[in-house]
Amino acid sequence: MTYARRKERDSRASGLVLFLAALGAFFLGLGRLPDSSVAPPVTPPAAALESASEAGPDGSPAPAAETSPSTSTRETVAIEATEPGPVATPESVPTATTDTAANAAPEPASPRFRDIGGLRQPRIRAAAAMLYNPRTDEVIWERRGLDQRPIASITKVMTALVLLDQDPALTRDVVVSRRDVRRASTTYLARGERVTLDALLHLALIASDNVAARILARASGLGTRRFVERMNLKAASLGLEGTRFVEPSGLDERNVSTPYDVVRLIAAASEVPALSQIMRKWTHGLRIDRRRVNIRNTNRLLRSPHVIQGGKTGYINEAGFCLTALVELPDADPIALVVLGAGSNARRFSEARRLIDWVTTTGRSLLEPAEHAN
């Protein structure tokens, strides 16, 4: 009987010890609970870190000088005639912070419009047009100067600028692929032919050859997709806020810009000697594979009395007939002009000449810098 009572007492003592141990563990856990009044640390979004890490000055190489093709000194590179990468879509168009090789985007451009007062307006029927002084950064006259429109083959000016930014060997041979010539509309090239980058630049800027523009993008060392991204980055670095590209030839109506952007683009391209020399040629002879080809410039302004430092035409149905040029004027600054959406091939040139005549006569006073431009 004594043994049974002792066992019951020991069992009660063990239970009490277990209860006290559990109670202590409970209060110890309460002491370690986190303070709900203290906010957890905030992690910056990945996009913000990426933008911060990629901002910086331009690291692009200087443009290369123009090189004439020479069969004795050509460097033949075996570039596969494969289909180029898919074209960038508007959703994938990058901004100037997505590539370390691009310039940091400048401050948003604010056009400085001259007040023509009571001066007679030039008679222009095109959907949009502009006269611009690159030296003073003043808009002398405009019609819908900030409206965004398709620019067709004026796109090729940016294609040429971006290519030269890569500092390519212009004597390098490239093979024309099946994809290059598909639905190209205008071209001197055929599948399987070999052609130098220098010849392609001439074909794109003088003859407005669409296949040449496609090959320049594909053979740039970037591939078509990255090349189009660089075109948009280049536009951002030049402050062309209304300009977007989805492919390098201008056949796609989603390649858009504004008159204000286009005049600044042609002014920038005309400052590159390799491009200005090409754009000023009325005719040019070149070799494509084993045949000799003579091409003629689509820019008829070159046959006018005016000295053209650079220029480019463009046409697709959605854009109408387009033209931009940098024109030397006697005893005045060069003037950049653009005509977008003219009703015919002849009219884009007649309206461009009309703008030149107007600014050198009626609007002559506007060529002097304004003390207070609007």
Q: 156 an active-site residue?
A: yes
Q: 234 an active-site residue?
A: no
The two structure tokens encoding residue 82: 């494969």
**pLDDT tens, N- to C-terminus, the chain (374 residues):** 444 455 455 555 555 555 655 555 555 444 444 443 333 333 333 333 333 333 333 333 333 333 333 333 333 333 333 334 444 444 444 444 444 444 444 555 578 999 998 999 999 999 999 999 999 999 999 999 999 999 999 999 999 999 999 999 999 999 999 999 999 888 999 999 999 999 999 999 999 999 999 999 999 999 999 999 999 999 999 999 999 999 999 999 999 999 999 999 999 999 999 999 999 999 999 999 999 999 999 999 999 999 999 999 999 999 999 999 999 998 899 999 999 999 999 999 999 999 999 999 999 999 887 664 44
pLDDT score at 8: 54
pLDDT score at 249: 98
pLDDT score at 16: 58
* In contact, 340 and 359? CB cutoff 8 Å: no
pLDDT score at 45: 37
pLDDT score at 10: 56
Q: Report all structural domains of the chain as residue ranges with CATH numbers, in order of start.
A: 116-367 (3.40.710.10)
Active-site choice (60, 177, 208, 249): 208
pLDDT score at 23: 58
Active-site choice (11, 36, 72, 156): 156
Task: Count CB atoms within 10 A of the CB of residue 163.
Answer: 30
Q: 208 an active-site residue?
A: yes
Stated pTM of the model = 0.72
Active-site choice (37, 51, 70, 153): 153
